[in-house]
A and B are shown apart, each in its own frame.
Chain A
């Protein structure tokens, strides 16, 4: 319990720190909304006036994109990867290694704080207004809401573990440029963040279902619009839990290896 208290302090500090950079919050929100406009327009143009395509109604598809963009905002509000990589590059990471806490956990809890601030002050109010003004397919039962929040939270954890494990590769390769781009592309496409898996070509969908990325956006989004329903819900959540464990152990493994291999550059 004592250790939880330490990590909780990071959450509170990160929350307060975000409050200082208010302009940051606004610019981030502005950028998020522009991308929402972009994807909303793209899907409107793809449906081109049709009521439904591939068994998915236009309204449900639009809702999918809005929920996805909301979750993108949530997932993007934490410590940016380059900040950690910069610490590796400058050697500042050594200071963190000396302290009595687990560094990946400390960043996770700090992220929860900055995400909370961003969500409460910016994302939630704006998206609540959107949902009231526009005609979206909202879940009708409380159960779906609860399950959606659970799925979105697990998705957040999966994304955190994968991204962090990946970011720590910079311990081994001082330059990660190329691999990083492949990684972010895979994450944005295969997670279904902008195109749901059911519109994929079959072979690509078959690849995507065996990867952890779908747990980040596709599963929560599809639960929200009711495309994953009934018994499938528990299956999907189970799959997410499986992946969160795998990714967590991957992160622990990479972190363990990395901290043994700290090469402090320069002095």
Chain B
């Protein structure tokens, strides 16, 4: 029952958010165009890079595009669902966070559904186009099993990246400042994983697998679908992606709730 109520509520809040953003139609379209060009820019950079060299650590251009598109697609969903957490510290600092505490719903849920960034259509357009293109180029034989696995690992990717956003935002409960950590942890980690992990030193690969588990967002699942080796890691480690996502997200949620219980309003 509670779940149904929350799902209903989520869509109500979100549709209010969408209507608010659609008031600025020009800005909305410009942002989508901007996102698509920015992602295309990275893809073009990859192409130029491989123009002379052909291979990056046994990955060719199309395989790299595939890897990149998985990251972008799950990031798109993650932006829709969890990006609002990035601004948690501003709320806490200004004392406006308190309003999430005085309403009869879960504060985590309430905060999460406050803002819905529709510009993430840019991510969807870009990544779906790439999936189709690359499937032709690489002759990926899509079976139902493979499609299901791709969807499951995208869910895993959303949970990992969303969990990271939640975890970073939770720092603000203790320090009232967390934006910086986004730029030191999340942003570089996302950029690093745009390229196959195999090119990095072993210690970095190990961190990306077991500490900041971004390797499970795209590298391990892509290796499974494209039937490529992920050296230094057990074969088919990619199948654990959804599980890793779930565990990591629950852990982040727990830390966030722990922070919330310690929260003292900045007051005014």
Contacts and interface: CB of A to CB of B under 8 A. Distances in A.
Interface in A15-58: 23-24, 27, 30-31, 34-35, 37-38, 41-42, 44-48, 53-54
B127 to A, nearest CB: 16
Interface of A is mostly: helix
Contacts of B183: 27, 31
B222 to A, nearest CB: 16
Q: How large is the interface on A (under 10, 10 to 19, 20 to 34, 35 or more residues)?
A: 35 or more
Given A53-B52, A53-B53, A200-B51, A189 B44 contact: yes
Interface residues of B, number: 37
A31 B187 contact: yes
Contacts of B44: 185, 189
B22 to A, nearest CB: 14
Contacts of B37: 178, 181-182, 185
Interface string B176-219: 00001101100110011001001111001000000000000000
A250 interface: no
B105 interface: no
B51 A199 contact: yes
B45 interface: yes
A30 B51 CA distance: 31
B57 interface: yes
B192 A201 contact: no
Contacts of B198: 45
A80 B125 CA distance: 29
Interface string B25-56: 01100110111011011101100110111011
B38 A199 contact: no
B41 A46 contact: no
B211 to A, nearest CB: 14
A50 B151 CA distance: 39
A204 B48 contact: yes
Contacts of A144: none
23 contacts: A30-B184, A35-B188, A37-B201, A37-B204, A38-B195, A38-B200, A45-B56, A45-B198, A46-B49, A46-B56, A48-B55, A48-B57, A53-B52, A177-B34, A178-B34, A179-B30, A179-B34, A180-B34, A181-B41, A184-B38, A184-B41, A194-B49, A201-B48
Given A35-B191, A37-B201, A178-B33, 4 more contacts: A31-B188, A45-B56, A181-B35, A189-B45
Interface of A: 23-24, 27, 30-31, 34-35, 37-38, 41-42, 44-48, 53-54, 175-182, 184-185, 188-189, 194-195, 199-201, 204
